[in-house]
Amino acid sequence: MNNRDYASVVLNELHHTLSKIDIQKANEFVELVDQAQEVFCAGAGRSGFQVKGFAMRLMHMGINSYVVGETCTPNIRENGLLVICSGSGETKSLVNHANKAKEVGAKIALITINPESTIAKLADVVVEISAPSPKSAKQGDIKSIQPMGSLFEQSEGIFMDISIMMLMEKRNLDSDTMFGRHANME
Give the residue numbers annotated as catalytic, written as ranges.
153
Phi and psi, residue 175, nearest 5°: -60, -35
Phi and psi, residue 144, nearest 5°: -105, 145
Q: What angle do CA 184, 58, 101 make, to 5 degrees?
A: 125
**153, 13 in Cβ contact below 8 A?**
no
Question: How do 107-112 and 80-85 pair as beta strands?
Answer: parallel
